[in-house]
C-alpha cells in the first residue's frame, strides 16, 4: 500500500524544508510506502529550486511544476492527477495541517473508511470576523445545497484512491474542491484537531480571494441565488400593484395630488438597484457557463520532477494533461 501527500505551493521557499523535516519521520512510522507530491503553482520565488534541492535528502519527493499560477484548486487537482498512492492526503505546506494526525487517519482508512476528515475542534485562533464569516458561509451552504459539506473542515483529509478517481471525474473548470470532495460521497469518518499557527511564511489568502472562493462554492453547487430573484421580483411587483391601487383610490376620493419628487426618485433608484443586482447574479452564472463551454485545461504542466513512468499517476484524459512535459531531478 502506498500513501501520497499532495502539497500545493505558491511562494513557499521558507516553508518547504520545515514541512519535509516534520512530515517525513511521521510518514516513515506508518510503515507504508509513500511519496510527497509538491505542486508549484507558478511561484515567483525559489520554491522550485528548494524542492528540487531537498530531493537529494528526501528521495520520495516529487514536483509538478505548473506553467503559471492557476490557483490552489487547480493545483490540488494536478496533484491528485499525478499522485500514485492508494490513499491521498492533501496538506498545506505551512504545517497548519498537523502531520501528527496522519497515523490515526491511516488507521481509520485501513479499518474501512474511504474518507477521513480532519475537523477543527474550534476556530479560536482565527479573528472574530473570520470565524463569523466562515460560520455564516457553511450554514448558508447547508441551507441552499443538497451536498453536505463538513463545517470546520478544510482540504486536509485522507481519501482512498477510489474517492480521488471520482473527484477527478468531475469535469467543471470552476472548481470548489470542498464541495466536489463532499459530492463524491463514500463512507466517511473524522478525526479532530486544534489548528496551530503557521510554521513559516505568510498566508496567500486575503478577503477578496476568500470572497471569490465563497462565490465559486455557492454558484457551483446551488441555483438558489437565481431562484431568489424570482421571489424578490414577485414581492416588489405585489407592492407596486398595491401602491398603484392606493394612488388610484386616493385620486378618486381626494382628487389629484402633486406627487413628491423625492419619493419618485427613491422608488426609481431602488428598482434600478434591484435590477442591477439581479443582472449581477445572472452574470456570475453566465460567466461560469462561458468558462465551462470553452473547455480550457484546468492546468498546464511545465515540468515533472522525480517521476518515472510507473509513478506518474493515473491517466486522466478529460483533464487534458496528457501533453505535459516530463523531467527528472
pLDDT 10s digits, 7-59: 998 888 888 888 898 899 999 888 888 899 999 888 888 888 888 888 888 88
CA distances from 250 to 245, 246, 315 (A): 9, 6, 74
Beta strands across the sheet bearing 33-40 = 188-193, 115-120, 153-160, 87-90, 2-9, 33-40, 61-66, 301-305
Residue 41 neighbours by CB distance under 10 Å: 25
Give tens-digit pLDDT for 168-213. Answer: 888 777 777 777 777 777 888 888 887 766 555 555 555 556 666 5
Whether 98 has a pLDDT exceeding 50, the answer reads yes
pLDDT-derived band of residue 328, with 50, 70 and 90 as boundaries? very low
Domain ranges of the chain: 2-206+297-319, 224-294
Mean pLDDT for the stretch of residues 56-83: 87
Q: Distance between CA 258 and CA 264 in Å, rounded?
A: 11
Q: Distance between CA 217 and CA 177 in Å, rounded?
A: 9
Top-confidence residue, 128 or 290:
290
Question: CB of 63 within 8 A of CB of 30?
Answer: no
Q: What fold is seen in the domain 2-206+297-319?
A: Spore Coat Polysaccharide Biosynthesis Protein SpsA; Chain A (3.90.550)
Q: What is the pLDDT of residue 311?
A: 46
Q: Where are the alpha helices (DSSP H) in the chain?
A: 15-29, 47-54, 72-82, 102-110, 128-144, 161-168, 177-184, 207-221, 224-254, 261-294
Whether 90 has a pLDDT exceeding 80, the answer reads yes
Q: What is the pLDDT of residue 319?
A: 39
Residue 57 neighbours by CB distance under 10 Å: 11
Judged by average pLDDT, the poorest of 160-174, 267-281, 309-323 is 309-323
Question: CB of 181 within 8 A of CB of 159?
Answer: yes
Query: How much is the mean pLDDT over the chain?
Result: 75
- Give burial (CB, 10 Å; 0-12/13-18/19+) of 257: exposed
Give tens-digit pLDDT for 204-257. Answer: 555 556 666 566 666 666 667 777 777 777 777 777 777 767 766 776 777 666
Q: Distance between CA 284 and CA 267 in Å, rounded?
A: 26
176 alpha-carbon distance from chain centroid: 4
C-alpha distance across the termini of the chain, in Å: 25
CA within 13 Å, CB half, 56: 3
Q: What is the pLDDT of residue 231?
A: 74
Claim: this prediction has a pTM higher than 0.75 = no
Mean pLDDT for the stretch of residues 293-315: 67
Q: What is the pLDDT of residue 152?
A: 73
What percentage of the chain reaches a pLDDT higher than 90? Answer: 3
Residues 6+ apart with CB under 8 A from 88: 3, 4, 5, 6, 79, 80, 158, 159, 161, 164
pLDDT-derived band of residue 101, with 50, 70 and 90 as boundaries? confident
Amino acid at each position: 500500500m502506498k500513501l501520497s501527500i499532495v502539497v500545493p505551493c505558491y511562494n513557499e521557499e521558507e516553508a518547504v524544508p520545515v514541512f519535509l523535516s516534520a512530515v517525513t519521520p511521521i510518514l516513515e512510522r506508518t510503515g507504508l510506502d509513500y511519496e510527497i507530491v509538491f505542486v508549484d503553482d507558478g511561484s515567483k520565488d525559489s520554491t522550485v529550486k528548494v524542492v528540487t534541492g531537498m530531493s537529494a535528502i528526501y528521495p520520495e519527493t516529487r514536483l509538478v511544476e505548473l506553467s503559471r499560477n492557476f490557483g490552489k484548486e487547480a493545483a490540488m487537482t494536478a496533484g491528485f492527477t499525478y499522485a500514485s498512492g492508494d490513499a491521498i492526503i492533501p496538506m498545506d505546506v505551512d504545517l497548519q495541517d498537523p502531520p501528527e494526525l496522519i497515523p490515526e487517519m491511516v488507521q481509520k482508512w485501513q479499518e474501512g473508511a474511504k474518507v477521513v476528515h480532519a475537523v477543527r475542534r474550534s476556530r479560536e485562533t482565527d479573528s472574530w470576523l473570520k470565524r463569523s464569516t466562515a460560520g455564516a458561509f457553511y450554514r448558508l451552504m447547508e441551507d441552499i445545497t443538497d451536498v453536505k459539506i463538513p463545517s470546520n473542515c478544510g482540504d486536509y483529509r485522507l481519501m482512498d484512491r477510489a474517492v480521488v478517481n471520482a473527484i477527478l471525474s468531475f469535469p467543471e473548470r470552476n472548481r470548489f474542491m470542498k464541495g466536489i470532495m463532499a459530492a463524491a460521497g463514500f463512507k466517511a469518518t473524522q478525526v479532530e484537531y486544534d489548528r496551530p499557527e503557521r510554521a513559516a511564511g505568510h498566508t496567500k489568502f486575503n478577503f477578496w480571494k476568500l470572497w471569490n472562493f465563497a462565490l465559486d462554492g455557492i454558484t457551483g453547487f446551488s441555483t438558489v441565488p437565481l431562484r431568489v430573484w424570482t421571489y424578490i421580483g414577485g414581492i416588489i411587483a405585489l407592492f407596486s400593484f398595491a401602491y398603484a391601487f392606493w394612488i388610484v383610490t386616493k385620486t378618486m376620493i381626494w382628487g389629484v395630488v402633486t406627487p413628491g419628487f423625492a419619493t419618485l426618485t427613491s422608488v426609481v433608484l431602488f428598482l434600478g438597484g434591484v435590477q442591477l443586482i439581479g443582472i449581477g447574479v445572472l452574470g456570475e452564472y453566465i460567466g461560469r457557463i462561458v468558462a465551462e463551454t470553452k473547455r480550457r485545461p484546468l492546468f498546464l504542466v511545465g515540468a515533472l520532477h522525480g517521476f518515472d513512468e510507473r509513478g506518474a499517476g493515473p491517466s486522466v484524459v478529460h483533464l487534458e494533461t496528457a501533453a505535459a512535459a516530463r523531467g527528472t531531478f
